Amino acid sequence: MNANRIHNFNAGPAALPLAVLEEIRDSFLNFAGSGMSITEISHRSKWFDGAINDAVDRTKRLLKLSDKFHVLFLQGGASTQFCMIPMNFLHGDHSADYVNTGTWSTKALKEAQLLGKQVKIVASSEDKDFSYIPKDIKFSNDATYIHITSNNTIKGTQWASFPDTQGVPLIADMSSDIMSQPLNVEKFGLIYAGAQKNIGPAGVCMVIIRDDMLKLAPDTVPSMLKYTTFVSKNSMYNTPPCFAIYTLQLVMKWLEDTIGGLENMEKINREKAQLLYGVIDSSDFYRGTAELESRSMMNVTFRLPNEELEEAFIQEALDNDLGGLKGHRSVGGCRASIYNATTLEAVGALTDFMKEFERKKG
């Protein structure tokens, strides 16, 4: 580990690959020979065209996207998608099914309801404090789309496999696990992901949308909230978040050229998760909060015997260069976010600390 850099387990904004940060540093004052920083160049320039087009191309290769999918980079984070999706796809007597697995699912559902759209909660894990992913869900045959959150950062749960929707387009908020493993995109009508958890810095949201979904939007949707606006302009209807897109491009480059693709990324991610869950499961001192079959590979949530020990754990961890381990303010406890850029070395340092902390305090 470089001097002055800690092991970063923040849930978002989160760790970025060191190689990406170093490339940003080295090119920051003179991007691509332009004599300007990436934060200064025109988004209409050949230099930025190269960056955004490479980001799109690498995303398509990594996910093996066919030509019927479009890759967009939008502002407003994943939270703007909560309203943008129903505005584009639900009108007249159209309705949608929502699966509620926690905070972000709940917020997505709320935005659709605020717009007066017809939505149906077909499954929820609220009965057990969102500690699991529902199974055997009965979806509506006439739904325009089905909405899920693939990974739940706060409760530490994740869909191990995606549901059979019988041809109804699946829409997924993948903010916290996009690009963490290979993905069969064909059943998805739309995927969206705020970049700041697993693929870049805050300020850009990746949207992957299928051709047939573009035909659903009525003419009354405002231009800045309509997907066709950004498809027709290569995400540049207005000035896009250039620096965030450039950084995301470098992360896609790192995934493709350094890691070697999503199959390899999944192997690394599973090794990290198994190492961390192994310490939790072999201990009476640490207790995981998610049900076994629903555990997240990205966000490992756990508790200690009492809140005083949790506070001491978080502080002593930070003193040992292990940052970002405090659980979300809505639930407390501890959380280690082990996204793509969090190294196996970092997880090893954390598990060593956990064993020593238990030895001293348990």
Which of 285, 277, 355, 278 has its CA nearest to residue 322? 355
Q: Which residue among the candidates 173, 177, 254, 272 is catalytic per the annotation?
A: 173
The answer to whether residue 47 is catalytic is: no
Q: Which residues of 63-97 are buried (b: 16+ CB within 10 A; e: fewer)?
A: bebeeebbbbbbebbbbbbbbbbbbbbbbeeebbb
CA dihedral defined by 101, 106, 112, 116, rounded to 10 degrees?
120
Q: Which residue among the candidates 60, 117, 155, 197 is catalytic per the annotation?
A: 197
Q: Which residue among the candidates 60, 104, 226, 254 is catalytic per the annotation?
A: 104
The neighbour count for residue 211, using CB atoms within 10 Å, is 13
The neighbour count for residue 176, using CB atoms within 10 Å, is 28
Which residues pair with residue 152 across a beta bridge? 157
Q: What are the DSSP calls for 125-169, one per residue?
A: -GGGTT-S---S----TT-SEEEEESEETTTTEE-SS----TTPP
The answer to whether residue 104 is catalytic is: yes
From edge to edge, which strands make up the β-sheet containing 287-288? 287-288, 299-303, 334-337
Cα separation, 98 vs 171, in Å, equals: 10
> Phi/psi at 34 (nearest 5 deg)?
-80, -20
The answer to whether residue 197 is catalytic is: yes
User: N- to C-terminal Cα distance for the chain?
Assistant: 29
Q: 289: which residues sit within 8 A by CB, 6+ positions away?
A: 131, 155, 156, 301, 302, 303, 331, 333
Active site positions, annotated? 104, 173, 197
